[in-house]
Amino acid sequence: MGATSTHDVLRFLNRPLVLRTFVVLLIIFTLVHFSNPIQEHADKAREKWQQWKEKPEHSEPQHISYTKPSNHTPPHRPRPPPAKPKPQKEVDEDCPVLPGLERLVITVKTGATEASARVPTLLSTSLRCAENVFVFSDMEEQVGELHVYDSLDTIKAPILDHPDFDLYKTQYKLKAGGTNIAALKGMDDPRLPGDAAWALDKYKNIHIVEKTWRLRPNMDWYLHIDADTYVMLPSLVHWLRSLNHTEPHYMGSLTSIGLLNFAHGGSGILLSQAATKNFIDIYDDTKAAEWDESTSKECCGDYMLGRALTETEAWAEDVAPNISGQYPATVPFGPERWCHLVGTLHHVSPMEAELLGKFERQRKDRSRPVSYAELYTDFMHDRISSGTVDDWENGASNIMVHASSAAECRHLCKEEPGCWRSMYTEDAEEEKCGLGTDFMLLGNPEKGRQSSWNRERFDEWIAEQKPCD
Ligand SMILES: *[C@@H]1O[C@H](CO)[C@@H](O)[C@H](O)[C@H]1NC(C)=O
Ligand SMILES: *[C@@H]1O[C@H](CO)[C@@H](O)[C@H](O)[C@H]1NC(C)=O
């Protein structure tokens, strides 16, 4: 009986149609089975990235590697002519005089899918008065007056065959066909793990450092930022005047992966002339490309730059909050961060950049450094409500108490000496009310939270502070 069944099954399988169906089902099963972990991985990375975005100074970036094989052929890439070192933009006539600005180079790292949405705003606000600005992307473009450099054009096969470069090749094909690449935006965000533009982004940092030196060698300082970084030029230049560019400085808001401390890219990576020169002496344009292979196995470009710099014995120095991964709504204003200068901010939307640009233009003395005190008083103060805001998280939590309503929580803050903000969480178990006596913070929308601020009490604290000079 058993033997007959086996025999029957084999005969059944031997029928061509059945066999083919079986094989197809097996392939589908295998694909589904093996693609799920990849999807999960991407989802996890995206989630971690969101958390990192929210707390850029406190948690680590994720570690991702891609191992999918590929058999794409390298695209035909038109080689750009050797770049002429000329300023990428005209300097505004009503700019404040900032001695040292002419010796500072700023590079903006972007991607073809986001460039048009962010770069023009950045150039007309934060970088309006900067003298040496270079925009590096993953596709060479001319946008009006602005030349956008391809940071990846020295990358060679076999790295180019890696699936990370699929978007890169697609962009050039579409461009050759006359397509507006910005139409891809939304699908491909250089800041979202899993998005094709993000996979490409990590290859740029090392090449940007190398290419910038060729465009503008021997300058005093090199600041490398993203398209959503806002630089307060008067602060930055003021601070740089107190530093020695002939010493090898590699500075930023530090984060770490494993044992390596490195400057977080979005906050801004600041390199002195000496640090960049040491780097160039070791990594010329072929040596820089030797890192591409390792980059394909790691998560992040700022981390890879940190590794490359560390091998030239430039050690990352933490200069937060002069260089900061916060944006105005997440800045903890208070005793820890008050007269310090605001050199950079990160995750600044184009709309926020416009507002910051307006703030800068309206300052009485636009050449003085911007302190956190000034940013609070003239930019944040009026945006902070003196009432209660529903579905809002201001993060108040250094004292946790019980309350049965948002109104009670707000009242408890009033009773607590030094309480500047409170937050009521509807679905918390016991202690639904958080009080904040540590700093003032606006925060962000969040369902199920109710936030309030004691703005007047914070104003009293401000009145007691010595003016910042
Ligand atoms: C930030 O800049 C100020 C002003 O130039 C300077 O005194 C201070 O040392 C800098 N902070 C760090 C951490 O380098
Ligand atoms: C800057 O650093 C170099 C090298 O350490 C040193 O020789 C020079 O005197 C320093 N310059 C100033 C102004 O401190």
* 150 exposure class (CB count in 10 Å sphere: 0-12, 13-18, 19+): buried
Evaluate if residue 414 carries a pLDDT over 50.
Answer: yes
How far apart are the C-alpha atoms of 427 and 166, rounded to whole Å?
A: 45
Angle in degrees, CA 172, 176, 180, rounded to 5: 80
Q: Which helix (H) or strand (E) holds 231?
A: strand 230-231
pLDDT at 321: 96
Evaluate if residue 70 carries a pLDDT over 60.
Answer: no
* 318 exposure class (CB count in 10 Å sphere: 0-12, 13-18, 19+): middle
pLDDT at 383: 95
Q: Which helix (H) or strand (E) holds 16?
A: helix 16-54
Better-predicted residue by pLDDT, 145 or 206:
206
244 in contact with ligand 2, CB cutoff 6 A: yes
Specify the residue with its C-alpha closest to ligand 1, atom 12: 319
- What is the pLDDT confidence band of residue 225, given thresholds at 50, 70 and 90? very high
Domain boundaries, the chain: 69-383, 387-464
Instruction: Give me ligand 1 centre to Cα 250, in Å.
Output: 14
Specify the residue with its C-alpha closest to ligand 1, atom 6: 239
User: What does each C-alpha distance from 301 to 64, 109, 203 come to in angstroms?
Assistant: 12, 11, 6
Better-predicted residue by pLDDT, 100 or 117:
100
pLDDT in tens, 276-305: 999 998 887 677 778 998 998 899 999 999
- What is the pLDDT confidence band of residue 182, given thresholds at 50, 70 and 90? low
Q: Give the global pTM.
A: 0.80
First-residue to last-residue Cα distance in the chain: 97
Report the interhelical angle of 16-54 vs 2-14 (nearest 10°): 80
CB atoms within 10 A of CB 148: 22
Range of 18-22, 61-65, 140-144, 331-335 with top mean pLDDT: 331-335
Instruction: Return the ligand number nearest the Cα of 337.
Output: 1
What CATH number matches the domain at 387-464, 3.50.4.10, 3.30.70.260, 3.40.640.10, 3.40.228.10? 3.50.4.10
Instruction: Give me ligand 2 centre to Cα 243, in Å.
Output: 10
247 in contact with ligand 2, CB cutoff 6 A: yes
Contact 254, 261 (CB under 8 A): yes
Instruction: Give me ligand 1 centre to Cα 240, in Å.
Output: 9
- Out of 237, 238, 341, 374, mutate this one to test ligand 1's pocket (max ligand atoms within 8 Å of CB): namely 341
Evaluate if residue 64 carries a pLDDT over 60.
Answer: no
Evaluate if residue 26 carries a pLDDT over 90.
Answer: no
How far apart are the C-alpha atoms of 278 and 221, rounded to whole Å?
A: 14
242 in contact with ligand 1, CB cutoff 6 A: yes
pLDDT at 191: 60
pLDDT at 190: 65
- Out of 221, 244, 272, mutate this one to test ligand 2's pocket (max ligand atoms within 8 Å of CB): namely 244
pLDDT at 117: 86
Specify the residue with its C-alpha closest to ligand 1, atom 5: 239
319 in contact with ligand 1, CB cutoff 6 A: yes
Evaluate if residue 245 carries a pLDDT over 70.
Answer: yes
